[in-house]
Structure formats: structure tokens, C-alpha cells
Amino acid sequence: MSSIAGTASQRAFRLGPLWPTDTKSIVGSVLLAVCFSINMQITERLDTLTGVALAPLTGAPIANWLGFMFINMWFPIAVIYFGMTGALIVANFNPVLAVLTATHPLAWSFFFLNMCWSVPNTLVFRSVLARGEELSSSRFISMCAVGQFIASVGFSVLMLIVFPGAQWWAYIIIPLWNFIMVIPGGVIGYWFFNSVRRSGVLE
């Protein structure tokens, strides 16, 4: 059985361009985007309820912890197999639905937040896999954490702009909560990545 690094890097980086335009890559990216969006239609509403429940304490009716968790399940597959094309399609498909269905108070910002994760992590995963390095669970999670950190900082900035009257500590605790979700999300994402790799469905 080939290693994770060998299989993933050959498909995503050694044999394919950073910006694949073939039909398989585009269709695969769209299918991942649809699956991610179905997931988010549920989690974004739960995040909204969490934010409303915590609003008396934080002063801001906002939370996005589940979104920040499950992004680590779907986005790594997109960036590993379909490069920057997959990163942008998966990152920008769901925000359109989120805005149209009003699933979250900051749905309009998901275009920006999703790309804060997907764009830099496309380069991170590409650089590691192109060297033929094995993807252990700890390495996978640490790589996911790069984009997670950037997106969490972006979330904090958005909170300052949209909810300037919140408790001062909310601008730290809520983004930190989002960032920490890379751990359970990364565990799920690593399991999902290995399942997809073994199935060969995207090869």
C-alpha cells in the first residue's frame, strides 16, 4: 500500500497543477462544496443558537465553533486533491447558500473567512506533500492550524467591526474557541482524508 504522502502528493501536486482546470477536478470540487454546504446548513444554525444563548455574557450574539470544526473535515480534501481550484470553489460555494438562507449573522463574511483557511493551507499542504512527507495525524492537524489561526484572527477583527460593544474578553475567547476546534476537527478530517484515500474515489 502506498503511503499517504506518496498517494496524495502525486495526485494533488506532482502530477497536477496548482490550478487544475480539468473536468474531474471541477466536478469533484463542486461535489465537495455541496457536501460541505449540507453540513453547514445544520451547523451554522446551531452556531447561531449558541451565539444567541451566550449573548447576555459576551455582548455579541455570535459564535462559529462548529463551522470552524467541520471546515477541517472538508477543506483539506479539496486542497490536497484539487489544489487552489478546489480551495476556492469549496470556500465560496457555501457562503452563497448561507447568505440566501440566512443561517448565520455573519454569513456574508464566510467568503473571506473560508478563504483565510483554504488559500494559505493549499500552499501549506502542497509544500509538505510535494516533498513526499508522510501525513501523520499530528502533522495533519498542525497544517490545518495554519489556516485556522488566520481565519480565527479574521473572525476577531470582524467581531470588532460588527459588534463593537461586546465585552472586551469576547474578542479573545470566541476566536480562541474557534481556533481550538482545529483539534477535534483535525481528528475528524484526518480520518476522513484516510477514508477517501483508501477508497480511491478521487484518484
Confidence of residue 16 (pLDDT cuts 50, 70, 90): low
Tell me what pLDDT residue 132 has: 80
> CA torsion, points 7, 11, 15, 19, in degrees to nearest 10?
-150
Which residue shows C-alpha cell 449573522?
105
The mean pLDDT value for 35-58 works out to: 93
What is the rounded CA–CA span in Å between residue 70 and residue 81? 18
Tell me what pLDDT residue 18 has: 87
Helix (H) or strand (E) segment spanning residue 98: helix 65-101
Cell of 63: 459564535
Instruction: For the full predicted model, state whether its pTM sits above 0.85.
Output: yes
Tell me what pLDDT residue 182 has: 97
Q: What percent of the chain has pLDDT over 70?
A: 92
What is the rounded CA–CA span in Å between residue 72 and residue 151? 12
- How far from 32 is each of 18, 20, 44, 86, 93, CA to CA, in Å? 18, 15, 17, 9, 10
Tell me what pLDDT residue 184 has: 97
Confidence of residue 5 (pLDDT cuts 50, 70, 90): very low
What is the rounded CA–CA span in Å between residue 83 and residue 20? 7
- Tens of pLDDT, residues 111-134: 999 999 999 999 999 888 888 878
- Tens of pLDDT, residues 142-191: 999 999 999 999 999 999 999 998 999 999 999 999 999 999 999 999 99
Q: What letter would DSSP give residue 164?
A: T
CA neighbor of 73 nearest in space, from 200, 199, 193, 197: 193
Confidence of residue 10 (pLDDT cuts 50, 70, 90): very low
Cell of 136: 501523520
Q: For the chain, which residues make up each domain, given as ranges? A: 4-197
